[in-house]
């Protein structure tokens, strides 16, 4: 193999490793992000429950105020009852008193029901808050883990980058420029072996004439299909 190609293959090996490490590093916060999304979601749910709770409390105050007024009215009607003169008046007033009592009983029932619903909502809110606390703890631990892992990745990537910069010096600038251009377009895989006339990267046939030229190793050749830099794979090399 041409020596400049073996240098390029070394360079590609380092670059692919850097690429792989960078991709892994980018995936580190996945769990952390998912946890934060869950926490946000739970917080939104809590806000909704709090709105409902406020509505229930408003309604309860309304009914309690009504009840208070109606109890006053009842008292007055009951006092009037002792002063009525005719049977007709007595019957009308008694009927009114019964109606007030009946309506107040309904108000008392509603207040009890509202109290139950309020307690239930408070319980739901507390449960969600506890869940958030659990997720938050997990997210905090996750954040620490990520920070430690990122440091490790950065150290590895730094070391490989230094190594790559050294290897790059051994490559001629025009070939390096071609390599970089192709690395961007071909996800880092630039140099491909040709095995029995077939490009190992794109699986297309190399024209026989070109393959013969490749075997002579006189100049750098490119795959006519994928434009990668190619070299002939020979048994024993
Ligand atoms: Zn190819």
Q: What is the pLDDT of residues 134-189, one digit of tens each?
A: 999 999 999 999 999 999 999 999 999 999 999 999 999 999 999 999 999 999 99
Gap from CA of 13 to ligand 1 centroid (Å): 18
Cα 206 to ligand 1 centroid, rounded to whole Å = 8
Distance 21 CA to ligand 1 centre (A): 26
Residue 88 structure tokens: 């007709």
The span from the CA of 175 to the CA of 220, in Å, is 9
Mean pLDDT of the chain: 95
Segments of the chain assigned to CATH 1.10.287.1490: 26-166
What pLDDT does residue 154 have? 98
3-state class of 222 per DSSP?
A: strand
pLDDT value at residue 197 = 92
Q: How far is the CA of 229 from the centre of ligand 1 (A)?
A: 8
Task: Tell how far the Cα of 77 is from the centroid of ligand 1, in angstroms.
Answer: 101
**CATH class, range 26-166:** mainly alpha
Q: Write down the pLDDT at residue 233.
A: 87
Average pLDDT over residues 122-132: 98
What's the pLDDT at 1? 78
Nearest-angstrom CA–CA distance, 231 and 217: 8
Residue 187 alpha carbon to ligand 1 centre in Å = 14
User: Where does the pLDDT of residue 237 fall: very low under 50, low under 70, confident under 90, or very high at 90 and above?
Assistant: very low
CA–centroid distance, 204 to ligand 1, in Å, is: 6
How far does the chain reach from its first CA to its final CA, in angstroms? 8
């Amino acid at each position: 193999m041409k020596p400049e190609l073996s240098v390029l293959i070394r360079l590609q090996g380092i670059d692919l490793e850097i690429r792989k490490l960078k991709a892994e590093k980018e995936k580190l916060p996945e769990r952390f992000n998912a946890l934060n999304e869950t926490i946000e979601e739970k917080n939104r749910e809590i806000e909704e429950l709090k709105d409902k709770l406020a509505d229930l409390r408003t309604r309860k105050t309304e009914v309690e105020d009504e009840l208070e007024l109606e109890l006053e009215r009842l008292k007055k009607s009951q006092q009037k009852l002792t002063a009525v003169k005719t049977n007709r008046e007595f019957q009308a007033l008694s009927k009114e008193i019964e109606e007030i009592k009946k309506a107040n009983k309904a108000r008392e029932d509603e207040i009890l029901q509202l109290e139950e619903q309020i307690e239930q909502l408070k319980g739901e809110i507390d449960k969600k808050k506890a869940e958030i606390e659990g997720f938050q703890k997990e997210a905090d631990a996750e954040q620490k883990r990520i920070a430690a892992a990122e440091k490790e990745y950065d150290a590895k990537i730094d070391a490989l980058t230094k190594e790559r910069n050294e290897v790059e010096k051994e490559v001629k600038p025009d070939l390096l420029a071609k390599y970089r251009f192709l690395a961007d377009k071909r996800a880092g895989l630039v140099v491909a072996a040709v095995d029995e006339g077939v490009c190992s990267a794109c699986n297309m046939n190399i024209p026989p004439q070109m393959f013969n030229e490749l075997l002579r190793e006189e100049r750098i050749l490119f795959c006519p299909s994928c434009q990668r830099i190619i070299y002939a794979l020979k048994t024993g090399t």
